[in-house]
Structure 1
């Protein structure tokens, strides 16, 4: 599906995503070749392609040498006018006790992923690292064809299909209008191509809807459009950075959370299946504490995770939060998706986290 249509950010098309486990050093050479092809398609100049290849090679090398269950994701992201490539590296240990220390070039601790992180951060246009000792590390980095041209967004999402399937039946979309971010996540019923078809139709339904609009009305539009598909669970939220409120409407078992430090508040959905069973759609309003983020995720992630399990995570960039939760809470054998929204700054409308 299109990464951006009419101001909505969605998950990238399949041919704009490279995801691979990194267990051997030989993976680095293949990733250098693939990311160069991806960058050249997007019009990256040779010098920027070389930077991207260097970062990917260093990240893959670190994962193969030091990580446990390391994985590297490369994907295309777009704003209204430009494209960029994001790199997301995750692993399940050993973690880094002092992240600022290892961000200094040439510094590392035995058995950690510190080697080269400073270099990656220096050549990337945008990067963050989150790590917990004995839990693992998340590194994200974004590379732009033309530095400084990519607009920051206050939201980020990730999804992945169930093992054995190429298409993911979970999809998301987000769009910012002034100081309000509209977020939608759909878990297509089942998995495979038919679930993916339902999820894509949900995305098209919100893309075709004029904003601003109440979440309950957006959900009703999705319900009407999914009647021609097998249906799914859907949640829609409007996150207002000025009034510090969240308006939420959910149908089925997509989880919605407001996460503030070590506190987490669930948002209420009603039982049903969008496209087939939707009686009594309700919209609920919640206060949004300072510093809080909104998290939507499918039931491919367990709801048993809690903020106390991830010290300081809610202060991280939305993509870091999404990658961490997908890694640690995505334990069910199912399609998985998570969408994270940090309310836009009330003065500029741009997230600065």
Structure 2
């Protein structure tokens, strides 16, 4: 299994809960979490599954070993289409329950997770995000230069993903790359991994030159589509260039912009003429990149204010509501702080 992807478990039937708990436990064990941390992960997953059964009549749970702000962690996301939580602060208090239970589920998750976020809206459901780090994080850390979050999910039935997301941060630039290998499965994964390695080794800061460099390095693969976005930290501007159907949107406070990529396939037929689109940065702006496993007409209109939460919440909301479920799926979001 690719270490960077999220496992996605449908949880519409109680008989499946034992399987998903076992799979997530095995994922933590392969990542060498301590017995203490594995016990905490088991409790969090059990409480999520219990809440889905009691309050939402089903949903899904995602799990991934990822690198967070404070190092390697287990990230677990629970999403449902239930009625929402009308008084979240009250429900976080131990002993409060609407189903005549002990009322300790949300409180237990909050205590055990190093990062804990809940997004809920009436009639659209609830999403819970928990991160448990191998090493407990410090009480205070300096704010990040940028918040960058991504979710990648393989095509249903596969455990290897043909989508890939890579980024790096330097004193002058923040560079993002989302790629989608042609098709899916092992060969698609080989193509996007080769592209990611090329992106990481490339020293260029111009998106079109990065695309050309990747194009040269992946010619022995089946090819891919991809978009590179570079934020110039000195000039406060985004520069974007892409080839193939990666959907890129800039969401601002007053307006949204969609980047139109070039036709072609990286590694096979990149256009001779590539231009870079420049978009000035403004406070509160977000750049969102999606592979074609996500419907192109996605939006977050039903979720005002969701981008003020951890960006993983918004990424998974897009996947939950707009995934095609016939291909690999990926969403990456960046906000400059």
**Change over 3 Å in CA distance of 1:108–1:80 after alignment to 2:** closer
* Correspondence 1:57-72 to 2 at 5 A: 57-72=46-61
The answer to whether the 8 Å contact 1:22/1:71 transfers is: yes
> Structure 1-normalised TM-score?
0.83
Tell me the alpha carbon deviations over residues 94-135 of structure 1, each in whole angstroms, 9 at most, x when there is no partner. Answer: 323443343333335569xx9722321222101212222222
Q: 2: distance between equivalents of 1:175 and 1:53?
A: 33
Runs (5+) with no aligned partner, structure 1:
4-10, 346-353
1:255 aligns with 2:247: yes
2:212 aligns with one of 209, 220, 227: 220
1:139 Cα deviation after fit? 1.3
| Aligned partner of 1:190 among 183, 186, 190 | 183
Q: CA deviation at 1:166?
A: 3.3
Q: Are the aligned partners of 1:25 and 1:65 in contact in 2 as well (CA < 8 Å)?
A: no
- Corresponding position of 2:35: 46
In the superposition, the TM-score normalised over structure 2's length comes to: 0.87
SS in 2 for 1:227: coil
Q: Deviations over 1:293-342 (max 9, x none)?
A: 11000121112122323211222212111111111111363221111111
Q: Distance in 1 between matches of 2:76 and 2:171?
A: 28
CA offsets per residue over residues 12-40 of structure 1, 9 Å max, x none?
Answer: 4xxxx543111234544444444444334
State which drifts further: 60-69 or 36-45.
36-45
- The match for 1:270 is 262
**CA distance in structure 2 between the aligned counterparts of 1:239 and 1:156, rounded to whole angstroms:** 16
In the alignment, which residue of structure 2 is the partner of 1:231?
223
Q: Is the 8 A contact 1:82 1:149 kept in 2?
A: no
Q: 1:145 to 1:257 in 2, by over 3 A?
A: same
- Counterpart in the other structure of 1:6: none
Judged with a 3 Å threshold, the aligned counterparts in structure 2 of structure 1 residues 134 and 331 are, in CA distance, closer, same or farther, namely: farther
Aligned to 1:91: 80
* Deviation, structure 1 residue 236: 0.5
Distance (Å, rounded) in 1 between the aligned partners of 2:214 and 2:97: 49
Unaligned 5+ segments in structure 2 are: none
Superposition RMSD in Å:
2.8
Q: 2:13 matched to which residue of 1?
A: 24
1:110-121 residue pairs with structure 2 within 5 A? 116-121=105-110
Contact 1:270 1:282 in 2 (8 A): no
The 2-side partners of 1:2 and 1:79 are apart by 17
Matched, 1:320 2:313: yes
SS at the partner of 1:156? strand
Whether 1:292 and 2:281 are equivalent positions in the alignment is no
